[in-house]
Amino acid sequence: MLEECELTSALLKSGLHSLRRAGMGEKGIYYRAFFELSIAIERVLKIIIIMRYRRENEGAFPTVNAENVVGHKLIELWRKAGIKELTGIHQKILVFLDEFAGYTRYYNLDYIFEKQGKNKNHGSVLSEWKGIQELISKKHGEKRYLHKEEMSDMLAQNCKVLFYGMEGDALTQIDYLLDVAANADYIQGYSVLYVFEIIKELREKICELEKHGYYMPVVSEFFSYYTNHRTNSEIRRKKDWLGI
């Protein structure tokens, strides 16, 4: 149990770190973030289910048959852990990670092999995440590149650019790319904030369970950073999550 808590804590840190640093120029880091966060949240939920079982059974640990916690269904595990249901963008992110854990993590390969199944009628992983980014932009606004016209004119005279967007679309308009670059850090900060708040709900459930019985290890100590003591601005601006 101690080793599981250490592993899960490290995965959460690494997932937040990857998500904060992902961007259009390094889209592979998004996938790393989704792998780490989906696995980490799944493991926290299973830890919570184990904790609850121990408090109902005098400290004994459950078997697989007793609690049926196999699989990667985050939504199902969330309900089984007895945590209040999320809403809005928080719920959208949990559903996204649930789908990623369940099947969309293989979307690229499934698409190449023309495999039948859930991925067949599903958008790409990055396309789906872009939808969440658009919800964040709609709620919190966007940033614009300062002196965009001057920079755009200078670049247009000296170079041509080609990037591929989150949906694989070719992007060649310099003024648009400058806005994307200016807005990326802003959006990534909010993305991390929403995930942080999901993790905070998990920690609150852990603390609630610890009030009903003391069993080693003290699980909350491994997730002590995820509290209300951090301001939203502090969380959004933080870029190095590995050292927390």
Residue 192, pLDDT above cutoff 60: yes
Work out the mean pLDDT of the chain and round it to a whole number.
89
What DSSP assignment string belongs to 25-42?
TBTHHHHHHHHHHHHHHH
Question: Is the pLDDT at 89 greater than 80, yes or no?
Answer: yes
In a domain, 99, yes or no: yes
What is the residue whose two structure tokens read 């601006």? Answer: 237
Residue 200, in any domain of the structure:
yes
Rounded average pLDDT over 149-172: 69
CB 103 within 8 A of CB 117: yes
Q: Give mean pLDDT, residues 45-56.
A: 95
Q: How much is the pLDDT for 25?
A: 79
202, part of any domain: yes
Given a cut of 60, is residue 145 above it in pLDDT?
Answer: no
Measure CA of the first residue to CA of the last residue in the chain; give whole Å: 21
Per DSSP bridges, beta strands 163-164 and 170-171 are antiparallel
**Band of residue 146 on the pLDDT scale cut at 50, 70, 90:** low
User: How confident is residue 164, by pLDDT bands cut at 50, 70 and 90?
Assistant: confident
User: How far is residue 231's CA from residue 57's CA, in Å, rounded to a whole number?
Assistant: 38
The pTM for the full model equals 0.90
* 112 domain-assigned: yes
Report the alpha-carbon angle 186-191-194, nearest 5: 130
Q: Is residue 171 part of a domain?
A: no
CA distances from 105 to 25, 62, 100, 191 (A): 20, 29, 5, 19
d(CA 52, CA 209): 7
Stretch 106-112: mean pLDDT: 88
Cis check for the bond before 217: say yes or no (omega within 30 of 0).
Answer: yes
- Two tokens, residue 138: 């709609």
In angstroms, what is the C-alpha Rg of the chain?
20
The secondary structure of residue 159, as a DSSP letter, is -
Predicted local confidence at residue 182, as pLDDT: 73
Q: Which residue has the higher pLDDT, 22 or 70?
A: 22
CB atoms within 10 A of CB 113: 9
In a domain, 42, yes or no: yes
What token pair was written down for 87? 């809403």
Q: What is the mean pLDDT of residues 31-49?
A: 97
CB–CB of 44/101 below 8 Å? no
Higher pLDDT, 63 or 99: 99
**Residue among 64, 45, 57 at smallest CA distance from 201:** 45
* pLDDT greater than 90 at residue 14: yes
Q: For residue 152, what pLDDT band results from cuts at 50, 70 and 90?
A: low
Q: Is residue 170, in this structure, part of any structural domain at all?
A: no
Per DSSP, the three-state class of 164 is strand
Weakest-pLDDT range from 64-68, 107-111, 193-197: 64-68
Q: What is the pLDDT of residue 165?
A: 72
Number of domains in the chain: 1
Residue 166 lies in a domain: no
Range of the domain at 99: 2-142+184-237
Q: What is the pLDDT of residues 171-191, one digit of tens each?
A: 667 777 777 777 888 899 999
